[in-house]
Structure 1
Amino acid sequence: MHLQVLPLAITMVAGPQIMSAIVFVTTSRAVRVSIAFLMGVVLATAVGVLIARLLAALLGSALPVDGESPEASTLGKAIQIVLIALLVLVAVRNYLRRKTTEPPKWLGTLLSATPTTAFKTGLLVILAMPSDIVVMLTVGMNLQHHRAGYGDAVLFIAATTLLVALPLLLYLIFHKRAIIAMPRVRDWMNVHSWLVNIIVCLIFILLVATGG
């Protein structure tokens, strides 16, 4: 892939995804529910990228490629401008509503989640999040742009998986310290969810502007 894999992966998990992962390591069954959640995320990301790649292949000539026509190039730039404008509006909206923004109510229910619930959550925080759908579509279009196969997305999927797994890895490596630190991190992210959303928007604006 020619896109910057790490920033894209960060955009995938910065938000409810990493917040959920942190919540799960603060539960009484931290390892079991975290592994189930991670499995859901991996499956959702792999399937999402596959669908995005297939959609990009179906679009075919509608996507800009090397040696593209001026018309296709203009269309590509117009899409970039519209997407950046929408992301800027979302970032500004999050900033203006920062004093009234609250974390999703469902995050609080994760403290009593079962492995099955954690697995379903892993699927939903990827496949039901607009920002992640846009990222996976971007990956799919990039693969089509460079006529690359699905295998070239493995690095992106692996990077996304590793980032989501970080809370669990830290919990396993620094068990006692993690037990103390993770709830604090969870609470901070809950209070500053608006800032997390703005950071996600800015990262994605940078990716779109640079064109991968």
Structure 2
Amino acid sequence: MAFQVLPLAVTMVAGPQIMSAIILLTHRRVVRVSLAYLAGFALATVAGVALARRIAALLSGVLSLGDPADRGSAGTIIQYILVGLLLVAVVRNYLGRTTAEPPSWLGTLLGAGPGRAFVTGVLLVLLMPTDLIAMLTVGVNLEQDHAPPSAAIPFVLATVFLLALPLLGYLAFRQRVTAVMPQVREWMNSHGWLINIVVCLLFIVLILA
């Protein structure tokens, strides 16, 4: 898998994904629910990348995806289409910034058990447009390079590691993290639209680079 795909792991976790991980740090059973959340996210990422690779393989059976270095290849054009969708998302987030509200389900995570945390991790991968686009990009890249599914392991590990950073920080600096998390959570809730725009723009830069 091409090295430039690895930074897409950042877009997989930025937004509600990392916000959920931070909110869970204020749960009364932090470690248990956080690990369940990470497990669900990891499982969904593995399944999503595998499905994306399969979709890319089916597409290659209809048309040649070409070489990743060829800007005119079908695979690259597909990625340009994804960039267009991301630009639409950027405009929508900016226009709706004054009325944007954090998802109501974020506030309910504090009372969630491990089972619900696990399901939340799964759904945040399979239902988030940016995650779906990221995994499709990885799938197309794997198919263009004729790489085996195992080539996606670094991407999956990088994604899970980034999402685990809040929990790792909590375990290493529990008192400090506990003290600042309410302020961090409040800022992220009020600036969710900005986080979404930054994620989309980062994704666009990574694809076009």
TM-score bucket (shorter structure)? over 0.9
The answer to whether the 8 A contact 1:65-1:146 is kept is: no
**Helix, strand or coil: the match of 2:26?**
coil
The letter for the 2-side match of 1:100 is T
Q: How far, CA to CA, are the matches of 2:23 and 2:49 in structure 1? A: 26
Residue 65 of structure 2 is aligned to residue 64 of structure 1: yes
Matched with 1:189 is 188
The letter for the 2-side match of 1:147 is H
Matched with 1:45 is 45
CA RMSD of aligned residues (A): 2.0
Summarize deviations over 1:39-85 as a string: whole Å, max 9, x none: 001100011111111121122242422399x9x93645544443333
Matched with 2:19 is 19
The letter for the 2-side match of 1:109 is T
- Map residues 14-163 of structure 1 onto 2, 5 A cutoff: 14-61=14-61, 62-66=63-67, 73=72, 75-76=74-75, 78-163=77-162
Summarize deviations over 1:75-117 as a string: whole Å, max 9, x none: 4554444333332222122112211101111001101000000
Matched with 1:10 is 10
Q: How far, CA to CA, are the matches of 1:86 and 1:153 in structure 2? A: 24
Please give the TM-score of this superposition, normalised by the length of structure 2.
0.92
Number of aligned residues: 208
Shift of 1:4: 2.1
Change (3 A) 1:141 1:5: closer
For structure 2, the 5+ residue unaligned runs are none
- Map residues 197-208 of structure 1 onto 2, 5 A cutoff: 197-208=196-207
Q: How far, CA to CA, are the matches of 2:136 and 2:107 in structure 1? A: 30
Shift of 1:184: 1.5
The answer to whether the 8 A contact 1:41-1:125 is kept is: yes
Shift of 1:133: 0.8
Q: How far, CA to CA, are the matches of 1:25 and 1:4 in structure 2? A: 31
Change (3 A) 1:12 1:6: same
Q: How far, CA to CA, are the matches of 1:117 and 1:63 in structure 2? A: 42
Q: How far, CA to CA, are the matches of 1:166 and 1:74 in structure 2? A: 37
Q: How far, CA to CA, are the matches of 1:151 and 1:43 in structure 2? A: 15
Q: How far, CA to CA, are the matches of 2:58 and 2:79 in structure 1? A: 20
**Helix, strand or coil: the match of 1:25?**
helix
The letter for the 2-side match of 1:205 is I
